[in-house]
Amino acid sequence: MSQSIIIQSGSTTPINILFVYPNTFGMNMLPPAIALFNAILKQNGHRVSLFDATYYSMDYGVDSDGSKADNLNVVEYDRSEKGITMKQTSWFDDLQEMVDDFEPDLIAMSTTEDMWELGLMLLNSIRGKIKKRKIPVIVGGVFPTFAPDLVIDSDLVDMVCVGEGENAIVDLAYRIGKRVNYENVTNLWVKTEDGRLIKNTVTDPVDINSLPMIDLSLFEDQRLYRPMAGEWYRMLPVETIRGCPYKCAYCNSPTQMDFYKEKGTSSYFRKKNMSLVSQELKHFVKEYKMEYAYFWADTFLAMNNREFDEFCEMYQDIRLPFWMQTRPETLSDEKIRRLSDVGLHRISFGVEHGNYEFRKKYLGRSFKNEDIVKKLQIPRKYGVQFSVNNITGFPHETRDLAMDTVELNRHIESDNQSIYAFVPFHGTPLRKVTEELGYLKHSDITKCLTDRPMLDQPQYPATEVEGIQRCFVLYVKMPKSRWGEIRKAEKNTPEGNRIFEELKEEYKQKYIIDSKVADLEYGMENK
């Protein structure tokens, strides 16, 4: 059975907790986990502050949104219309100043794998202050859960949260406030003063229906905006489901499900009561002037019929445009008709690969191509925009197999389509495959969102993966008679770049008729 959220007694001694969020501008949806921890910790009497690296004009890897625009996955957009500006000061100087002003008793960093190295850079910038003041540092998130040994290896990290952290952070803050030993806090790996490493047990997943509403007060106002379909909206994340019932091999959700199942605890897959979702939505509209709902769920339509009816009835009172991601096989005429009536604006589908046999054997997705094409005709019927996300560069993949993904997308009338390089995240079944094949070591950290593809396979080199990425939309939209030119444009050479730029301009003239059909979607690490 899921556990309820802890509320400590009135004897709590308040402490100052500084959250550090390493991030780059391209990943601009605010993190709901930090907003949730803010609410929980304040409920327990603590003071919370946040250093958010998202809107700093400092170079770290590639420009995610810029790369998408270059590859024609999205249209360019103007953030100035909403007063969204980039900070020109230094990440490191501002973080040091915040530590001096706030005087944290605990530093908590929430990080994805791709941002881990940036997180280390930020921690190193305040190394002297951490060491001098003996500020304990805890790191949590999906990556620390599945690679805790790599995270705890840093001399600046004192604790790693394995699994969900809602109750662990409350218990930890309570003990720090009382100046008592926190070595046995559940869900934590803790370094002791005498050099030992204590690996505490992991408790049941939290009952998400016992959680307070997320508190967004830590975030500056411009963080409430996100681009979608060529426009900026005050868009807020709303959790309806935590976990996913499907078993995709490139995703860590199956591993999370197995992680809790092995421990004999309750299921990681949980659903939030629609009455609570309704309260949260109405609160966001009233307090934050929300214009658009972003439903934070791996597969939004993983609902039974009763739950679906409840959502539709509930959302009739909201009627804001909303985005969801789901799988093609979850669609039906009736569902899309009803959702479009209450506000459905945009759907993101993960098709991932165009070869059915490869997709079934290596990715754990058995839905047939003809069924995908048929299902994805439904949103068009009701005027609902949708995007299709694909992945290339998988273990065992070849360029010819990648062209099957092109072919499938040519049969789908999506509003836009993207293809991402495969990211071998720790905690995914395919990560184990890459290590067994000798392409990666356990210690290798993924950087595909901020760097080139990590896998450089003899049958499908990274240069070819990059070529398919940048020319994918051209292959999908232009006649096959042009594929010879497009193949030349794949190459990062003076001639290849010249041809690519010429084809881009032609594409923009012929195919981008309405800029409102493109969006700025990005993949979540647990996708």
- The residue among 109 and 269 whose pLDDT is bigger is 109
pLDDT in tens, 146-182: 999 999 999 999 999 999 999 999 999 999 999 999 9
- Helix (H), strand (E) at residue 31: none
- The highest-level CATH class for domain 229-477 is alpha beta
> How far apart, in whole angstroms, are the C-alpha atoms of residue 327 and residue 317?
26
pTM, two decimals, is 0.92
> How far apart, in whole angstroms, are the C-alpha atoms of residue 93 and residue 195?
32
Position 517 confidence tier, pLDDT thresholds 50, 70, 90: very low
- Percentage of the chain exceeding pLDDT 90: 78
pLDDT in tens, 196-215: 999 999 998 999 999 999 99
Average pLDDT over residues 387-409: 97
> How far apart, in whole angstroms, are the C-alpha atoms of residue 52 and residue 224?
13
* 276: pLDDT strictly greater than 80: yes
CATH of domain 16-199: 3.40.50.2300
> How far apart, in whole angstroms, are the C-alpha atoms of residue 34 and residue 21?
9
Residues with Cβ within 8 Å of 67's Cβ and at least 6 positions away in sequence, in order, are 26
| Backbone region of residue 115 per phi and psi (left: phi > 0; alpha: psi in -120 to 50; beta: other values) | alpha
Query: Per DSSP, what are the bridge partners of residue 242?
Result: 270
pLDDT of residue 521: 44
